[in-house]
Amino acid sequence: MKTEDKTNCQKKILTIPNLLSLFRLLLIPLFVWLYLEKQDYRMTTVVLVLSGLTDVVDGYVARHFNMVSDFGKVLDPVADKLTQLAMLFCLLDRFHFMLIPLILLVVKELFAAVTGLMTIYKTKVVLGADWHGKATTLALYTMMIVHLVWYSIPVAVSNILIGLCVAIMLLSFVLYAIRNIRIICKGESHV
């Protein structure tokens, strides 16, 4: 792909991956309503899995069809994190230890947003997700879906799953913090 074409694509907003991210945002009120109001955990699971699948598809389409855009690099994780926050909030209704990943997610994402904006200012580059960010997303979705599907999950199993998820989240938090602070302080580029 020519450099000019790649630059034009990076600036596009209306792309298939971005529309899929917007669709994920629209699914949030639906699964919150299904979970809290209708208490239909099966349909909540279906909507959450659909949201996760559109996340995978939008990433695949963006990379394989050269539709990666700076707007998408921001919108995609926002859709992910809002989905995760909403579902963790819903699950908090039945599983009180969900408060730990919920608080950690808020702290991690606020820190990542601030340091991420500082890295963009310093480097003029919007960085994408690293492997550990994707591992965190997978761990969160897996943990949430298990809690949706296994309605009477034993407390010990629930706590172990939450603990594993929190450990992965903490690892990702530390690795993103190191990356962003290194770029901010030393001017290192990470592309």
- The span from the CA of 128 to the CA of 133, in Å, is 10
Q: How far apart are the first and last CA of the chain?
A: 18
- The span from the CA of 168 to the CA of 76, in Å, is 20
pLDDT of residue 1: 46
Structure tokens at 187: 């001017």
3-state SS assignment for residue 124: coil
Alpha helix (H) residue ranges in the chain: 3-11, 16-32, 41-64, 70-91, 99-123, 131-149, 155-186
Structure tokens at 25: 């945002």
- The span from the CA of 85 to the CA of 32, in Å, is 11
Question: What is the average pLDDT across 35-58?
Answer: 95
Which of 38-47, 114-123, 127-136 has the highest mean predicted lDDT (pLDDT)? Answer: 38-47
Question: What is the average pLDDT across 64-84?
Answer: 90
Band of residue 74 on the pLDDT scale cut at 50, 70, 90: confident
Placement of tokens 């050269």 in the chain: 66
- The span from the CA of 80 to the CA of 130, in Å, is 14
Band of residue 32 on the pLDDT scale cut at 50, 70, 90: very high
Length of the chain, please?
Answer: 191
| 167-170 contacts at long range (C-beta below 8 A, 24 or more positions apart) | 168/132, 168/135, 168/136, 168/139, 169/101, 169/104, 169/105, 169/108, 169/136, 169/139, 169/140, 170/104
Band of residue 2 on the pLDDT scale cut at 50, 70, 90: low
C-alpha 57 chain-centroid distance:
14
Band of residue 173 on the pLDDT scale cut at 50, 70, 90: very high
Question: What is the average pLDDT across 119-136?
Answer: 87
Question: What is the average pLDDT across 98-127?
Answer: 92
